[in-house]
Chain A
Amino acid sequence: MELLDNLGIDGRLLLAQLINFVILLAVLYKFAYGPVLKILEERTKKIENGLKDAEESHKKLAEISEKEAAVLVEARKNAQQIIKKSEETAVKNAEEIMALAKDQSNKILEQAKKQIEQEKEKILAEVKTEVAGLIMVAAGKIVDEKLDSEKDRDLINRSIK
């Protein structure tokens, strides 16, 4: 105690201050430290939960990405099949159309040839008839002009020999 007095420290005051300090400590522990710890624990829990959720989310995201990739692969495969089929159908259709067009053009050509031939024959027949008519008229005129009585007699005599 003497030492404390020598140092200028009042023992009683110190004691009182100690008591005050303890009381403050108890009060602080009761009303501040506990809730802060609780808050900290809650925060830690929340952060842990958040991290866990984030990890799960990441995992799910990865799964989704994988599924997405699989779907994409399938879709691409399907698309390729559709394209291939479409190409085949298009080629087949084109071939059919070409064959049909060729067939039709051949028919038209054949018909045109036939028509030309018929026209030709018709014109030839007309010309032939026309020429034959002219020959007949000319022959009739020649006979009428040249066949006199004497020649007619000769003709009759030749007929009965």
Chain B
Amino acid sequence: MRLSVNQYAKALYASVKDKSQDDISLVVANFLKLLRKNGQMKSAGKIIDNFSAIWNKENGIVEADVTSREALDRASQDGIKKFIMEKYAAKEVIISNIVDEDIRGGIIIRIGDELIDASVRRRLADLGNSLGF
């Protein structure tokens, strides 16, 4: 029977969740062997992505892509982490800072499918919309 990407990811999570670091390495090695045996090495990337999502969800970890005009300093990053922890009841927040001058200021936070756009570009667009532009 051919397993789906999600089923592999769930199985992998179940295998490693209470294991020590050494055991985890062994489990992962065996898992990769199983994938090769089943001819599903091509799906390894997607399985890892799904596994990460399950892992983060189960362990209260939130990964956020934060876009800003300039690289965020430590204080700003801490503030953003605190904001996300409170909003998502997360234990840990991992921020990936993307620098994009086109947003002209402010920040855009993307967590999974959710998007918080507090950029100046969006505010200007809102202004344009309200003016019927």
Report the separation of the CA atoms of residues A147 and B128 in the bound assembly, to the nearest whole angstrom. 19
Query: Which of chain A's residues have a CB closer than 8 A to the CB of B75?
Result: 153
Query: Which of chain A's residues have a CB closer than 8 A to the CB of B68?
Result: 152, 156
Partner of A135 from B104, B118, B120, B127 at Cβ < 8 Å: B127
Contact B133 A152 (CB under 8 A): no
Partner of B69 from A128, A133, A136, A152 at Cβ < 8 Å: A152
Q: How large is the interface on A (under 10, 10 to 19, 20 to 34, 35 or more residues)?
A: 20 to 34
* A105 on interface, CB distance cutoff 8 Å: no
Q: Which of B92-127 contact A (CB under 8 A)?
A: 104-107, 118, 120, 124, 127
* B79 on interface, CB distance cutoff 8 Å: yes
Partner of A143 from B80, B82, B83, B120 at Cβ < 8 Å: B120
Chain A binding surface, main DSSP class: helix
Q: Which residue of B lies closest to A140 (CB)?
A: B124
Shortest distance in angstroms between A95's beta carbon and chain B's nearest beta carbon? 50
Q: Which residue of B lies closest to A135 (CB)?
A: B131
Query: Which of chain A's residues have a CB closer than 8 A to the CB of B65?
Result: none
* A132 on interface, CB distance cutoff 8 Å: yes
Query: Which of chain A's residues have a CB closer than 8 A to the CB of B118?
Result: 155-156, 159-160
Partner of A159 from B69, B106, B128, B131 at Cβ < 8 Å: B106
